[in-house]
Amino acid sequence: MRHRALAPILVAVLLVGLLPGIVGGQWVKIFTSTTCFALAAAGAGFMYARLGMVSLAQVALMGVGGWVTLRLNHATGLPFEANLLVGALAASVLGMVLALPALRMRGLYLALVTLMVAGAFEVIFTAYQFPNGGAGFWGVGTSFSAPMRRPLLGESDTAYLRYCLAVGVLGFLLIELHRRTAPGRAWALIRRSEAAALASGVNVTLYKTWAFGLSGFLAGLGGGLLAASLGLLDAATFKASESVLLFALVVVGGTRFWFGAIVTAILYRVVPGLLNNWGVDADLALVFFGAALLHAVITAPDGIAGQIAALFAWRAPHDRA
Amino acid sequence: MIVLENLTVRFGGLVALDAISAGFAAPVSGIIGPNGAGKTTTMNVISGFLSPAAGQVLVDGTDLLTLPPHRRTRWGLRRSFQREQIADDLTVWENLLAITDNLRLGRREARAEAEQAMEFAGVAVIRDKAGAALNTFERRLTDLARCVAGGPKLIMLDEPAGGLSPEETGRLGDLILRIGEVSGARVLVIDHDVDLIQRICAQTLVLDFGRRIAFGPTAEVLDDPAVKAAYLGVDHA
Ligand SMILES: Nc1ncnc2c1ncn2[C@@H]1O[C@H](COP(=O)(O)OP(=O)(O)OP(=O)(O)O)[C@@H](O)[C@H]1O
Ligand SMILES: [Mg+2]
């Protein structure tokens, strides 16, 4: 129990304290975006592990968070944190709207509904692009691009990486806080069976909606952070296929352990960068991911995180004896 | 007093409950009958998982059917299921909190209730054990603890002794009889173990194919030729 709590603290300190200092060049941005996607992956992962619900719109929700954050950045003089928070809340609200079909559906049907939503956002993002300081509601100008403000604590790329890592740690803590309190217990019952949850007095509608809201919030946070890392966002980043890929990697990374989301984001962002460095076609990563997914489905149901945990003989929160 | 009045449930052409009426006045009462008789269906109506085509459920004058399912728990309804419903990811303690969370109690009060219920069912010693690691008896006891927590008014146990050895069944029966000492709840028990029913239930309702074939003091009911015939039918099946 003691060293179980120690590992996450150690990882957080190492990441926030050391990582920004040792990486350089393009890797600063790659790790920043890895952190953003880790937040989104953590959201999708906890929904899958705690509620057994598959959301294939997580990257699309990142896009929503990014869109709102950018829009506010260019339309108002509000500080970065305020824009980020509103962006995350917007994604959270949209996540809760997604929960409406989830109240009646599970499994494949729910996954299909979320996939269609991701597809709809792909169409919208492609048609209207992301705000870059232009006029009108969509805020897109063709010949210029106004800068995206960064937080005061993260003006340089390196400082911004540290900033994102710190926000990432807060995001993971938010999930852990939920897991240990009434919502986490309600979700565990819902996963056991909805009848069991109802018989225990759980308001199933409320808690399912809450889960989607939290997951959307984390995705939106990731999207907003990504926007300020890059200065502007590209519709191609948020295609429906990216949501599907991220979810597949969430399974590969493993959802029952908190660091599964980190593994997922590293696979999603760092591995293609590495392949690129080695002169290998980054598309080959997809082949590798496909094989990894098969491996996960067939032999490693707890993903890479589960295998790492087995290596250190840690146990998942639910089989501690 | 638990009053079932004219309770009728249909699944398509199948009449799962055919105008069932009964008034349970005993602290612990039973519902028995062969497989598919409609026992679980009766509990599902009381829980609010099914809406009856007709009929009423009144507990000490409260019309339960007007409350949404999760509100019935706050009112004081508890139940266990034929297949125990312990959340594997939660410890025994967390499994208890999962119910007191929803009762509109203060934090301290909720914890005290959960603590007391664990103590009662004898699972306090395994409070930190994960649901996944519990054996059948520990699961049934944890389920019972959940039913006792937070001042229940009506507890329904659907085959609580399922999968238990005779000795474990005996201990569970003792506990069910002692529920009255720690709460004012009335208890309704479904079980196929007629010995258990005979030992703990003062009144028993017997269903067969959705119809009430007997109701009254348990000893009389078990002596009823119609009940014997229904059970013989099962034995030959
Ligand atoms: N949701 C449902 N949809 C359709 N038919 C159902 C449903 N639930 C129960 N039934 C049918 O209603 C009848 C009564 O079922 P019920 O589960 O109440 O039986 P039971 O007395 O609890 O039996 P057992 O001792 O096997 O648990 C059965 O014929 C069953 O197949
Ligand atoms: Mg039954």
User: Domain containing B178: what range?
Assistant: 1-76+154-237
pLDDT digits (tens, 9 = 90+) for B162-219: 889 999 999 999 999 999 888 889 999 999 999 999 999 999 999 999 999 999 999 9
Residue A318 reports pLDDT greater than 70? no
Q: Which of B111, B126, B151 is the last residue of a domain?
A: B151
pLDDT tens-digit readout, A130-163 = 888 777 778 787 777 777 888 888 888 889 999 9
CA angle B31, B32, B33 (to 5 degrees): 140
Task: Return the axis-axis angle of helices A107-128 and A240-253, rounded to nearest 10°.
Answer: 130
Closest chain B residue by Cα to residue A256: B89
The rounded distance, in Å, linking the Cα atoms of A249 and A240 is 14
- Assign A316 a pLDDT band (cuts: 50, 70, 90): low
The whole-number pLDDT of residue A148 equals: 83
Provide the CB-side half-sphere exposure for A237 (13 A, CA).
20
- Is the same domain home to B143 and B219? no
DSSP B91: B
CA dihedral sign of residues A199, A201, A204, A205: positive
Interface contact A195-B85, CB threshold 8 A: yes
**Distance (Å) of CA B233 to CA A92, A219, B36, B152, B209:** 58, 60, 13, 37, 12
Res. A315 pLDDT band, cuts 50 70 90? low
Q: How sure is the predictor about B234, in pLDDT bands with cuts at 50, 70 and 90?
A: low
- The verdict on B233 and B175 lying in the same domain is yes
Give me chain A's average pLDDT, please. 86
d(CA B175, CA B97) in angstroms, rounded, equals 21
The whole-angstrom separation of Cα A175 and Cα A183 is: 10
In the chain, the amino acid numbered A158 is: T
C-alpha A320 to ligand 1 mean position (Å): 36
Phi, psi of B111 (to 5 degrees): -65, -40
Q: B123 and B68: one domain?
A: no
Mean pLDDT for A208-214 is 94
Determine the pLDDT at residue A320: 41
Of A188, A198, A317, the CB nearest to B69: A198
Section A87-95 average pLDDT: 96
* Residues B177, B72 share a domain: yes
Dihedral over alpha carbons B85, B88, B93, B97 (to 10 degrees): -60
Is 70 exceeded by the pLDDT of residue A25?
yes
Residues B67, B176 share a domain = yes
B99 CB contacts (<8 Å, ≥6 apart)? A200, A201, B73, B78, B114, B146, B149, B150
Nearest chain A Cα distance for residue B94, angstroms: 7
Does B68 share its domain with B177?
yes
CA distances from B95 to A79, A134, A188, B84, B189 (A): 43, 54, 9, 12, 22
A282 touches chain B (CB under 8 A): no
Residue A78: count other Cβ atoms within 10 Å of its Cβ: 14
pTM: 0.88
Mutate to test the interface with B, among A46, A185, A256 (most CBs of B within 10 A): A185
CATH number, domain at B205? 3.40.50.300
> How many domains does chain B fold into?
2
Neighbouring CB atoms inside 10 A of B132's CB total 17
A200 touching B (Cβ < 8 Å): yes
pLDDT in tens, B131-172: 999 999 999 999 999 999 999 999 999 999 988 999 999 999
Domain shared by B69 and B159, yes or no: yes
Last-in-domain residue among B151, B166, B200: B151
pLDDT reported for residue A272: 84
Listed residues: CB within 5 A of ion ligand 2: B 40
The pLDDT value recorded for residue B144 is: 96
Q: How far apart are CA A53 and CA A46, in angstroms?
A: 9
What single letter denotes the amino acid at residue B208? Answer: D
Chain A 45-104, residues with CB within 8 Å of chain B CB atoms? 50
Same-domain status, B190 and B217: yes
The one-letter amino acid code at A5 reads A
Residues B65 and B18 in one domain: yes
- Token code pair at residue A71: 């829009």
Compute the 3-state secondary structure of chain B and give helix, strand, coil in percent, each to the nearest 5.
45, 25, 30
Distance of alpha carbon B23 from alpha carbon B25, whole angstroms: 6
Residue A19: closest CA among A169, A139, A177: A169
Tell me which chain A residues have a C-beta less than 8 angstroms from the C-beta of B111: none
Mean pLDDT, rounded, for A186-201: 92
User: Which residue out of A192, A200, A206, A320 would a mutagenesis test of the B interface target, given it has the greatest number of B Cβ atoms within 10 Å?
Assistant: A200
Please state at what angle helix B92-100 crosses helix B107-121, rounded to 10 degrees: 130
A193-218 mean pLDDT: 93
Among chain B residues, CA nearest to A189: B87
Q: Which of A273-287, A302-316, B19-33, B186-200 has the lowest mean pLDDT?
A: A302-316
Domain boundary at B133, B151, B169, which?
B151
Percent of chain B with pLDDT over 90: 82
Q: Strand, helix or coil at A235? A: helix
Q: Could you tell me if B46 and B6 lie in one domain? A: yes
Phi then psi dihedrals of residue A235, to 5 deg: -55, -30
Same domain, B169 and B69: yes
pLDDT digits (tens, 9 = 90+) for A67-80: 999 999 988 889 99
How crowded is residue B180: how many other Cβ atoms within 10 Å of its Cβ? 13
pLDDT reading at A296 higher than 90: no
Q: Give pLDDT, residue A4.
A: 64
Contacts of B86 in chain A (CB under 8 A): 192
CA-nearest residue of chain B to A49? B89
Q: How far is CA A86 from CA A43, A76, B11, in A?
A: 18, 12, 49
| Interface predicted TM-score (ipTM) of this complex, two decimals | 0.90
DSSP A24: -
Q: Give the pLDDT confidence score for residue A238 in this predicted structure.
A: 94
How does the average pLDDT of chain B come out, rounded? 92
- Can you state the angle between helices A26-51 and A58-75, rounded to 10 degrees? 130
Helices and strands (H and E) in chain A: how many: 14, 0
Site to probe by mutation for ligand 1, drawn from B17, B32, B40 as the one with most ligand atoms within 8 Å of Cβ, is B40
Q: At A108, which helix (H) or strand (E)? A: helix A107-128
CB of B41 closer than 6 A to ligand 1? yes
Is residue B56 located within the same domain as residue B101? no
Q: Which residues of B touch A321 (CB under 8 A)?
A: 129-130, 133
CA pair distance A49, A117, nearest whole angstrom: 22
Q: Which helix (H) or strand (E) holds B3?
A: strand B2-11
